[in-house]
Structure 1
Amino acid sequence: MKYAKNILETIGNTPLVKLNKVTAELDTLVLAKVETFNPGNSVKDRMAVKMIEDAEADGRLQPGGTIIEGTSGNTGMGLALAAIVKGYKLICVISDKQSKEKMDILRAVGAKVVVCPTDVEPTDPRSYYSVSKRLAEETPNAWYVNQYDNPSNAIAHYEQTGPEIWDQTEGKITHFVVGVGTGGTISGVAKYLKEKNPAVKCWGIDTYGSVFKKYHETGIFDENEIYSYITEGIGEDILPKNVDFSLIDGFTKVTDKDAAVFTRKLALEEGIFVGNSAGAAIKGVLQLKEHFNPEDVVVVLFHDSGSRYVGKMFNDDWMRERGFLDEEITTAQDLIKDHKDKPLVIVRTEELVSHAIERLKKYNISQIPVIDTTGFVGSVDESDLFRSYFENKDIAEKPIKEVMGKPYPIVQATTSIEEISKLINKDNQAVLVDLGKGKHHIVTKHDIISSIK
C-alpha cells in the first residue's frame, strides 16, 4: 500500500505548469512552480519543517516546547502542521496588514495568534519582529524560529526546491523568477541552480516600499524607500541574512495594483488560484521580457493559495476601494454611482453660518450648495467659511446669503469627466449633477482625483 505516515511526508514534489494566456505576449516558455500543492498550501511548508528538524537535532527545540515566530501567515501554517505532528505548542506573531483568512487558518490549526501593527519601525517594541523576540525570552522552553536569519530556511530550498526544478526541466531552465521576502527561496534555489549551471539567471520580485532592489544595485540601505504597502509576502524593511544578494542577478519592482490585478488574472485566465505574491511574480516576468529569448525556459514560483486572499484581492469591494479595479469612469454618472442614493446636503440662504459649519462637521464634507425658493443660488466652501469665522466670530450669527459664493455649475449625468474637470478649479470646487425629477448630486475635486487610476 502507498500512503504517507503523516501529513509532513506529502510536502514537496509540486508540479510545474505551463502558463498560456497571461504570458501570451512572451515568445518564451514560462512554467509555474505551483507550491499550493503542499499540504499547508504554500512553499513555506518546506523550510518550516527543515528549521524545526534542525533545531531538534542541535537541541534548540526541546520536547514539549513552544515554537514562536513572526510570520505573514504561510510560515506559521507550515510550522503549525509540524507542531501538530511533533507535539509542540505554537505562537504566531503576525502584522495587522495580513488577511483575516490567514489569521483564522492559523487559529484553526491550533496556533495562538498575536497581532501587531504594520506601520512601525522594525526596532519598535510593538513590531512583530520585537514582539516575537520578547515572547521567546519570556516563554519557558521556547524556541524563536527567526526565519529571516535562520540558515535552515535557504538550505531547505537548496536541498528540495532547487533539485525539483532542475529535474522537472531536465536541466533546461534558463531563468528563475520569484518574490523575495525572507530570501530563503531565491537564495537556496539560486545556489543549487547556479552550481548546476552558472548561466542560469535568478531574478527577485520586489515591491514599492521595500529596500531590496536599490540595495542590490547600489549597496545603499535607503530608509526613504520604506513605507507601507499592500502586497503580502514579499519585500522587507530589513535585510534578512537569508537574502544572498551575490546569487541574485537583479530585481524588478511591481506595484500593489499590478500585483492584485495579476493575481486575479491568474485565476480567471489560467485557472490557477494563487496568492498575492504570485500576481506580483507573473507581472515581474512580463516586466523582464527583454531578458528572455524564444529558446529560454523561465520558471516562476507561486508561493501560496488564493484562499488566503478571498476577502482582499478576490473581493470587488476591497479592490474598488483601493482603485485596483479597471472600471472605466467616463461620465458624471460613473463618478457618483457608489453614493448617488445619499441625500444632497444643502443650506438655505436665510440659515445662519453656524448651521452650515455644523453641517460641514456632521457630514465630514467640504462644500455645500445654497438654495432658496427659486433653486440653487450660491455655495459655501469649508476653507472660506472657517477662515471668515476665525477672522470674525460674529459671522456665525449672520445669514448664509451674506457670505455665500457663486452657485456651482450644473451638468447632466452624461457629461464627460473631461468636461467636469474643466469646470472645477481653485475658484470653483464642485459641480452639481442633474439626475432628473428635481434630484441633484454633488461632484467635488476629491471625486475627480479619486477617479484617476
Structure 2
Amino acid sequence: MRHESVISTIGNTPLVSLDRICGSRISAKVYGKVESFNPGQSAKDRAALYMIEQAEKKGRIQPGATLIEATSGNTGFSIAMIAAVKGYKCVLTLTDKAGPEKRALLTALGAEIVLCPAAAEPEDPASYYSQAERLAADIPNSFYLRQNWNLDNSNAHYYSTGPEIWNDTDGKVTHYVCCAGTGGTLSGTARYLKEKNPNVTIVGVDAYGSVLKKYWQTGIFDADEIFSWKVEGLGKTIIPDNVAFDLIDEFIKVGDRAAALRVRELARREGMLLGYSSGAALEAVFAMRKQLTPDDVVVVLFPDHGSRYLGKVFNDEWMKEQGYLRPNGEPAAYSVRHLQRMYRVYKRMYGRKIKERFNLA
C-alpha cells in the first residue's frame, strides 16, 4: 500500500488477544488495542494530527508556524513528526520526569525542548504548563495546541479509536479500560462506545498521586492527593477539560511497582514491548477480574511502545534501584520504605480508616 506521507498511516491499529497473560486468570475475553502500531508509536498520533488539521481549517495555524505543547513526551513526538511533514517548527516543554530516550527522539525530529521541573505546581512560572503559555505569547506566528483543554483531542478518538474498537469486536465490547491523562483517548472513545451501547462499562485508570479519581468521586479538586509518581502519561495534578467524568463508570488506581512488573510480564508472555502505562492499564483489568464473566469482552488500550522506556522499566538496574526487583532479578516484595510511604498516603486519603486499610484494627 502506498502513502503520500507517514501521517496517512495513522490509525487502524490492531486489536490483539491477550490469552497468554489473561486466559487462565481472567474469565472474560481480553484484547489489547495496540497503539504502538501508529507511525509515532503511540495513541497521541491521532490527537496531534486531528488538533493540527482542525486548527489549520480554522486558520489558526499559518505557513511557517511554530507549534507549541506541554507534554510528557508522546504527544510531543507526534507533534514533532507531523510538524516535520508539514514544514512547521516545534517547541516542546517537558518535565524532567521524561526519560532520555524520549528526549532524544524529540530532538531527532527537529523539536526544540524546554525542560521543566516535574515538582513545580501547574501555576508555578517554572512548570511545563506555564512555560508553554509563555512561549506561545513570546513567539510570533505560534500555536499552542493545549492538549488538556483542546476538545479536538478527544474528538480525534471519537472519530477513530471508538469506531475501530466497535467494528473490530463486532459491537460486542462490554468494557473499555484506558489510562487517564489528558483524557482524550479515554473520553473520546468512551463517548462513541456509549452512543453505540450505553451499557459498555468505561474504566479509567489513574495513578497514586493524581487528583483525577478523587475528583470523579467527589467533584472536589483535592491538592492533598498530590505526590510524585513514576508512570509517565498517566494521572494529572490538574483537571483537564478533556476528561469526561460523566462517562466513566469506574476508576482504578494503579501503583508504579505493579505497573512496572505487569508491563515486563506482557513482554515475556505476549511478546509485546509496550510502554509503562500499558502495564498500569492491564493491571487495572486484573484488579477488576472478579467482576468479569465469560460473556464479557474487554478492550484495554495500550498507549505506546516500550522502546521509550528502555532506561526505566526494561532496565534491571533501574528496577532494582526503585525496589521493584531483588538483586537476583526476581520481583521484590514491598520494601519497608514503600510501605511507610503508602501508610502516609493512606493516612492522608482515608484518615480514621487507616487501621482498617492496613488490617491493624
- Would the TM-score normalized by the shorter structure come out above 0.5? yes
Flag the 1:319–1:9 CA change in 2: closer, same or farther, 3 A: same
Out of 157-166 and 22-31, give the one that drifted further.
22-31
Between the aligned partners of 2:338 and 2:44, the Cα distance in structure 1 is 38
Between the aligned partners of 1:99 and 1:169, the Cα distance in structure 2 is 35
The equivalences for 1:438-453 within 5 A come to 449=336
Flag the 1:125–1:8 CA change in 2: closer, same or farther, 3 A: same
The equivalences for 1:295-374 within 5 A come to 295-326=295-326
Between the aligned partners of 1:279 and 1:235, the Cα distance in structure 2 is 14
Is the aligned partner of 1:187 residue 2:184?
Answer: no
Flag the structure with higher helix content: 2
Identity of aligned residues (%): 52
Number of positions where the alignment pairs a residue of Structure 1 with one of Structure 2: 334
Q: Which amino acid aligns with 1:16?
A: L
Is the aligned partner of 1:10 residue 2:16?
Answer: no
Structure 1 residues not aligned, in runs of 5+: 330-447
The equivalences for 1:40-439 within 5 A come to 40-326=40-326
Between the aligned partners of 2:60 and 2:210, the Cα distance in structure 1 is 32
Partner SS for 1:176? strand
Q: Which amino acid aligns with 2:299?
A: V
Between the aligned partners of 2:337 and 2:198, the Cα distance in structure 1 is 48
Partner SS for 1:45? helix
Partner SS for 1:21? helix
Between the aligned partners of 1:295 and 1:250, the Cα distance in structure 2 is 19
Q: Is the 8 A contact 1:258 1:280 kept in 2?
A: yes
Flag the 1:270–1:6 CA change in 2: closer, same or farther, 3 A: same
Between the aligned partners of 1:452 and 1:130, the Cα distance in structure 2 is 34
1:56-89: CA deviation from partner (whole Å, max 9, x where unpaired): 1111111110000001111011111111111100
Q: Which amino acid aligns with 1:55?
A: A
> What is aligned with 2:18?
19
> What is aligned with 2:353?
none
Between the aligned partners of 1:313 and 1:186, the Cα distance in structure 2 is 24
* Aligned-residue offset at 1:217: 1.2
> What is aligned with 1:434?
none
Out of 78-87 and 176-185, give the one that drifted further.
78-87
Kindly indicate whether structure 1 or structure 2 has the higher relative contact order, using CA contacts under 8 Å at least 6 residues apart: 2
> What is aligned with 2:346?
none
Between the aligned partners of 1:452 and 1:301, the Cα distance in structure 2 is 30
Between the aligned partners of 2:217 and 2:170, the Cα distance in structure 1 is 32
Q: Which amino acid aligns with 1:214?
A: K
> What is aligned with 1:419?
none
Between the aligned partners of 1:451 and 1:279, the Cα distance in structure 2 is 19
Q: Which amino acid aligns with 1:22?
A: I
* Aligned-residue offset at 1:221: 1.3
Structure 2 residues not aligned, in runs of 5+: 330-334, 341-361
* Aligned-residue offset at 1:449: 4.6
Between the aligned partners of 2:290 and 2:338, the Cα distance in structure 1 is 32
Between the aligned partners of 2:214 and 2:233, the Cα distance in structure 1 is 19
Q: Is the 8 A contact 1:216 1:250 kept in 2?
A: no
Partner SS for 2:91? strand
Between the aligned partners of 1:451 and 1:326, the Cα distance in structure 2 is 14
* Aligned-residue offset at 1:21: 2.9
Between the aligned partners of 2:212 and 2:219, the Cα distance in structure 1 is 10
> What is aligned with 2:352?
none
Partner SS for 2:294? coil
Flag the 1:184–1:126 CA change in 2: closer, same or farther, 3 A: same
Q: CA RMSD, aligned part only?
A: 1.5
Partner SS for 1:252? strand
Q: Is the 8 A contact 1:174 1:199 kept in 2?
A: yes
Runs of at least 4 residues of structure 1 off by over 3 A? 326-329, 448-453
Between the aligned partners of 2:14 and 2:338, the Cα distance in structure 1 is 41
Between the aligned partners of 1:19 and 1:28, the Cα distance in structure 2 is 11
TM-score (norm 2): 0.90
TM-score (norm 1): 0.72
Between the aligned partners of 1:238 and 1:89, the Cα distance in structure 2 is 28
Q: Which amino acid aligns with 2:275?
A: G
Between the aligned partners of 1:93 and 1:282, the Cα distance in structure 2 is 29
* Aligned-residue offset at 1:250: 1.3
* Aligned-residue offset at 1:451: 9.6
Partner SS for 2:273? coil
